[in-house]
């Protein structure tokens, strides 16, 4: 009963409705994508526990389910005919014709009326097809697409600025080493006295004339801030320590006292910065429970720096305190102190301290010195 | 390319005849095109019409022209408070035959015409109104135990004057329900008034009008309208419209529950569908569309809705309430 022309119109309407369903699904997916990105940003800011892979997987599942659901729902002939009647000026002809065609059981209908209806519907098809072609798609994706892109860009930005837990320790180590040779500011909030002491130390260290003998080992002020040059720091430090041992010079009693004091320094306070240049923060920000209330070996205002021999530098990712080195350190300290005493007996042979830049504390060392001072203060 | 199927000749002929009738009446009745269409709709749908308008707007002229164009026998009843039922339906008279035998003979009243114009029906007494309305409903008159069938087609055009209501007997709602349409005759526009001067200044055009169809054509077209197809979508829409006027049914709009006391009856549903079928044929279709239902909705429901007293005192009228209900119904389609 339904003519081929009417069926072709119904098929065309079905394609349009199907396309509309997919557009709606795409719009919903874009809005959901924007919402998911915002949620991921919020969770990442709060807990730093969102990985890019999980977000991408969630997005893939979302899009696949939305589009599959839209594509699965095939518009029925009756729905297409009704849509054509409503929106293409069909005047209920297509839906009425389809009802007669699909009536079960077939009912007795006036033949003349059906014939007239078929003629009317067939004559309407070209006009309806042209209206369908000219009809714009009411579903717009601009806003949803823009929202999704903005939120995705924001999520990427947040992800780069605030990396997850895997990348955080690396950046943290880099940040602490890169903070400068003497950086009293981070710990200054804890103890203004510590900051003052640190600055005093820095000035004291930089007060001595540069030593030409120690120049080959000097690498400039930048060495203290470069994590890759920690080894060279130790090299210079060891050279400086050697020079200190050989020629305490202007330091005199202060250095002697300092060297003596350093020999009695608590192992935890001095060990870690001299072992591979690792950051004390790697061991955790919490108070070092193993640290005993040792006696400060440093004079107020001056903290002699003992540069020990170089130990094997640990890799950047594994910068943490090596308990084995503590013992080594202690032994070497005692040796140094003994040597220093011998050196102190002959002040005439003293040489000037090493050049200032090599004597500067690294940020890691500064941090440990400050912690040691704090512990000492608490002990008193 | 699309091959155009030949339209059914019967429907095409009927459509052409109706269009010719409309054109003829539009020439005679100036400025009342929609009123003419609805009158033609009522005639071919087998319904009766209540026309409300000020005096002098051409209501009688319209009925005469319609009867003349369709070749129908028409009669006029001028209602007054002393009009008796027998004056409408007819009665028996004692007749003496030529041979001297005398018998009672039933003389039919004016209601035994094919098109009856009842002027100012609200001036007749309730008893006379009842007799007329019974004839309208039953299409027959029973007198002295004898049933007399009214002619076919049979259509009553009753008129009402919206002013001068003193001494009148308003039709009760139960009797108003028997009229398919209630039409309001608007005051003509300026152009229409100018046209009237050209058409009906010195003579009544309906007096010289030639008929283009006969009673048989009216019956044929009426029968053809019954075969107009009605789809499920239109059926549901018609039912939704009637339900939308019922305040007691769940899901109706707040306006309906707030303002309407009594809604439309199932007879209104039948009237809507019958009238919509005629409108479909007038549009050249053999199937009913939603637009056909929308066009006849207000004339069918206007006199079947009763507002609450509080709403009437607030100045609300049936027209605006129905208009909002119909608009809401169309939006939901």
Query: Any chain B CB within 8 A of the CB of A5?
Result: yes
Q: Residue B157 has what pLDDT?
A: 94
CA distance A270 to A329: 8
Q: Residue A127 has what pLDDT?
A: 93
List pLDDT tens digits, range B132-179. Answer: 888 888 899 988 888 899 998 999 999 988 876 777 888 888 889 999
With an 8 Å Cβ cutoff, are B287 and A109 in contact? no
Q: How far is CA A254 from the centre of its chain?
A: 45
CA distance B165 to A171: 96
With an 8 Å Cβ cutoff, are A125 and B228 in contact? no
Q: Residue A283 has what pLDDT?
A: 53
Give percent of chain A above pLDDT 70.
49
Contact B64, B107 (CB under 8 A): no
User: Tokens 């459509």 — which residue?
Assistant: B15
CA distance A113 to A378: 105
With an 8 Å Cβ cutoff, are A113 and B286 in contact? yes
User: Tokens 């009695």 — which residue?
Assistant: A264
- For chain B, give the number of residues: 333
CB contacts of B16 in chain A (<8 Å) are none
Question: Which of A28-42, A302-316, A327-341 is the most confident on average?
Answer: A28-42
Helices and strands of chain A, counted as H and E runs? 16, 0
On the question of pLDDT at A318 being above 60, the answer is no
CA distance B134 to B129: 8
Q: Residue A187 has what pLDDT?
A: 47
- Nearest Cα residue to B218 out of B51, B75, B41: B41
In the DSSP assignment, the letter for residue A286 is: S
Query: Any chain B CB within 8 A of the CB of A103?
Result: no
Q: ∠A143-A146-A147 over CA atoms, to 5°? A: 85
CA distance, residue B211 to nearest chain A CA (Å): 27
Residue A169: pLDDT band by 50, 70, 90 thresholds?
low
Q: Residue A270 has what pLDDT?
A: 43
Contact A103, B238 (CB under 8 A): no
Q: What is the ipTM of this complex?
A: 0.85
Average pLDDT over residues A124-149: 90
Query: Measured between CB atoms, which of B2, B10, B287 is closest to A117?
Result: B287
CB contacts of A100 in chain B (<8 Å) are 229
With an 8 Å Cβ cutoff, are B231 and A3 in contact? no
- Alpha carbon distances (Å) from B304 to A312, A342, B131, B234, B298: 104, 125, 21, 21, 10
Q: Residue B323 has what pLDDT?
A: 92
In the DSSP assignment, the letter for residue B9 is: H
Give percent of chain A above pLDDT 90.
27
Please confirm whether the linkage preceding A329 is cis (ω < 30° from 0): no
Please confirm whether the linkage preceding A105 is cis (ω < 30° from 0): yes
With an 8 Å Cβ cutoff, are B5 and A115 in contact? yes
Dihedral through CA B315, CA B319, CA B322, CA B328, nearest 10? -90
Q: Report which of residues B35 and A321 the model is more confident about.
A: B35
Q: Report which of residues A125 and B249 the model is more confident about.
A: A125
Question: Could you tell me the maximum CA-CA distance found in chain B, to the nearest angstrom?
Answer: 81
CB contacts of B286 in chain A (<8 Å) are 112-114, 116-117, 120
With an 8 Å Cβ cutoff, are B5 and A119 in contact? yes
Give percent of chain B above pLDDT 90.
55
CA distance B213 to B16: 12
Query: Measured between CB atoms, which of A91, A100, A112 is closest to B285?
Result: A91
Q: Report which of residues B9 and A173 the model is more confident about.
A: B9
Measured from the Cβ of residue A95, the count of other Cβ atoms closer than 10 Å reads 27
Average pLDDT over residues A293-299: 58
Q: What is the chain A residue with the closest CA to B227?
A: A110
Query: Any chain A CB within 8 A of the CB of B236?
Result: no
User: Tokens 């890799």 — which residue?
Assistant: A315
Q: Residue A30 has what pLDDT?
A: 94
With an 8 Å Cβ cutoff, are B5 and A112 in contact? no
- Alpha carbon distances (Å) from B217 to A46, A129, B10, B39, B286: 85, 38, 12, 16, 18
Q: Residue B42 has what pLDDT?
A: 95
Tell me whether residue B12 is exposed, middle or buried, using C-beta atoms within 10 angstroms of its C-beta: 0 to 12, 13 to 18, 19 or more.
middle
Query: Any chain A CB within 8 A of the CB of B13?
Result: no
Q: What is the chain B residue with the closest CA to A90?
A: B289
CA distance B178 to B180: 6
CA distance, residue A38 to nearest chain B CA (Å): 37
User: Tokens 């005679």 — which residue?
Assistant: B28
On the question of pLDDT at A378 being above 90, the answer is no
- Nearest Cα residue to A268 out of A291, A285, A243, A296: A291
Mutate: best of B14, B220, B224, B231, partner A, most A CBs <10 A: B231
User: Tokens 């004291």 — which residue?
Assistant: A204
Query: Any chain B CB within 8 A of the CB of A92?
Result: yes
CA distance B85 to B93: 15
Measured from the Cβ of residue A223, the count of other Cβ atoms closer than 10 Å reads 22
Query: Measured between CB atoms, which of A5, A93, A125 is closest to B287?
Result: A93
For chain B, which residues score pLDDT lower than 70?
Answer: 1-7, 164, 203-207, 250-251
On the question of pLDDT at A228 being above 60, the answer is no
With an 8 Å Cβ cutoff, are A112 and B10 in contact? yes
Q: What is the chain A residue with the closest CA to B228?
A: A113
Q: Report which of residues A340 and A199 the model is more confident about.
A: A199
Dihedral through CA A13, CA A19, CA A22, CA A26, nearest 10? -140
CA distance B168 to B123: 5
With an 8 Å Cβ cutoff, are B233 and A93 in contact? no
Put simply, whether the predicted model's pTM sits higher than 0.80 gets the answer no
Burial A327-342 (b: 16+ CB within 10 A, else e): ebbbebbeebbeebee
Please confirm whether the linkage preceding B48 is cis (ω < 30° from 0): no
Measured from the Cβ of residue A185, the count of other Cβ atoms closer than 10 Å reads 13
CA distance B237 to B231: 10
- Nearest Cα residue to B281 out of B5, B21, B68: B21
CA distance A311 to A235: 9
Q: Residue B1 has what pLDDT?
A: 43
Task: List the structure tokens of A225.
Answer: 């801030």
Query: Any chain A CB within 8 A of the CB of B293?
Result: no
Query: Measured between CB atoms, which of A110, A123, A125 is closest to B227?
Result: A110
Q: Residue B296 has what pLDDT?
A: 96
In the DSSP assignment, the letter for residue A151 is: H
In the DSSP assignment, the letter for residue B57 is: S
Mutate: best of A113, A127, A130, partner B, most B CBs <10 A: A113
CA distance A91 to B250: 30
Q: Residue B278 has what pLDDT?
A: 96
Count interface pairs A-B at CB distance under 8 A: 83
Do the bridges between strand B155-160 and strand B115-119 make them parallel or antiparallel, or are there none, so unpaired?
parallel
Tell me whether residue B68 is exposed, middle or buried, using C-beta atoms within 10 angstroms of its C-beta: 0 to 12, 13 to 18, 19 or more.
buried
CB contacts of A95 in chain B (<8 Å) are 231-233
CA distance, residue A99 to nearest chain B CA (Å): 7
Query: Any chain A CB within 8 A of the CB of B228?
Result: yes
Average pLDDT over residues A131-148: 88
């Amino acid at each position: 009963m339904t003519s081929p022309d009417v069926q072709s119109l119904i098929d065309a309407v079905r394609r349009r409705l199907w396309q509309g369903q997919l557009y709606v699904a795409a719009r919903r997916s874009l809005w959901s994508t924007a919402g998911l990105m915002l949620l991921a940003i919020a969770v990442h800011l709060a807990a730093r526990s969102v990985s890019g892979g999980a977000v991408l997987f969630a997005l893939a599942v979302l899009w696949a389910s939305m589009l599959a659901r839209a594509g699965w729902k095939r518009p029925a002939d009756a729905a297409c005919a009704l849509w054509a009647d409503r929106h293409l000026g069909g005047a209920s002809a297509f839906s009425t014709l389809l009802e007669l065609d699909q009536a079960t059981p077939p009912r007795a209908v006036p033949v003349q009326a059906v014939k007239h209806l078929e003629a009317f519907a067939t004559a309407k098809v070209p006009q309806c097809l042209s209206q369908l072609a000219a009809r714009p798609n009411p579903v717009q994706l601009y806003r949803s697409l823009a929202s999704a892109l903005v939120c995705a860009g924001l999520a990427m930005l947040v992800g780069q600025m605030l990396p997850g837990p895997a990348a955080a320790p690396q950046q943290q180590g880099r940040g602490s080493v890169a903070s400068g040779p003497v950086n009293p500011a981070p710990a200054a909030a804890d103890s203004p006295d510590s900051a003052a002491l640190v600055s005093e130390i820095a000035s004291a260290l930089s007060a001595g004339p540069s030593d030409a003998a120690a120049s080959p080992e000097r690498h400039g002020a930048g060495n203290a801030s470069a994590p890759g040059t920690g080894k060279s720091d130790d090299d210079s430090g060891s050279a400086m320590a050697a020079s200190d041992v050989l020629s305490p010079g202007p330091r005199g009693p202060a250095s002697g006292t300092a060297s003596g004091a350093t020999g009695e320094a608590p192992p935890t306070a001095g060990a870690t910065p001299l072992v591979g240049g690792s950051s004390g923060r790697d061991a955790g920000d919490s108070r070092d429970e193993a640290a005993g209330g040792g006696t400060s070996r440093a004079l107020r205002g001056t903290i002699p720096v003992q540069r020990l021999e170089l130990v094997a530098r640990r890799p950047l990712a594994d910068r943490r305190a090596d308990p084995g080195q503590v013992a080594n350190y202690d032994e070497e300290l005692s040796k140094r102190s003994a040597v220093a005493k011998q050196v102190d007996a002959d002040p005439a042979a003293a040489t000037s301290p090493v050049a200032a830049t090599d004597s500067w504390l690294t940020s890691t060392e500064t941090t440990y010195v400050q912690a040691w001072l704090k512990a000492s203060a608490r002990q008193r | 390319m699309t091959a155009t199927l030949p339209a059914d000749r019967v429907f095409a002929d009927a459509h052409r005849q109706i269009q010719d009738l409309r054109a003829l009446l539009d020439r005679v009745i100036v400025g009342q095109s929609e009123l003419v269409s609805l009158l033609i709709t009522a005639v071919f749908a087998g319904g009766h019409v209540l026309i409300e308008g000020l005096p002098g707007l051409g209501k009688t002229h319209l009925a005469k022209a319609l009867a003349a164009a369709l070749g129908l026998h028409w009669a006029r009843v001028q209602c007054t408070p002393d009009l008796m039922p027998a004056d409408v339906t007819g009665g028996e008279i004692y007749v003496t035959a030529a041979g001297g035998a005398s018998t009672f003979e039933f003389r039919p009243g004016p209601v035994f015409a094919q098109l009856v114009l009842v002027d100012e029906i609200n001036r007749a007494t309730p008893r006379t109104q009842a007799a007329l309305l019974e004839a309208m409903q039953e299409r027959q008159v029973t007198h002295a135990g004898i049933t007399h069938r009214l002619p076919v087609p049979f259509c009553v055009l009753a008129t009402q004057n919206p002013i001068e209501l003193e001494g009148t007997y308003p039709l009760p709602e139960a009797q108003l329900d028997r009229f398919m349409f209630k039409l309001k005759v608007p005051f003509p526009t300026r152009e229409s008034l100018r046209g009237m001067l050209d058409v009906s200044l010195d003579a009544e055009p309906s007096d010289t009008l030639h008929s283009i169809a006969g009673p048989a054509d009216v019956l044929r077209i009426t029968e053809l309208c019954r075969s107009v197809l009605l789809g499920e979508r239109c059926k549901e829409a018609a039912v939704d419209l009637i339900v939308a006027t019922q305040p007691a049914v769940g899901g109706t709009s707040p306006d309906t529950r707030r303002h309407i006391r009594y809604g439309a009856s199932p007879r209104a549903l039948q009237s809507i569908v019958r009238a919509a079928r005629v409108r479909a044929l007038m549009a050249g279709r053999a199937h009913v569309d939603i637009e056909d239902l929308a066009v006849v909705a207000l004339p069918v429901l206007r006199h079947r809705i009763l507002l609450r007293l509080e709403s009437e005192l607030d100045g609300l009228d049936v027209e605006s309430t129905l208009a909002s209900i119909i608009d809401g119904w169309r939006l939901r389609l």
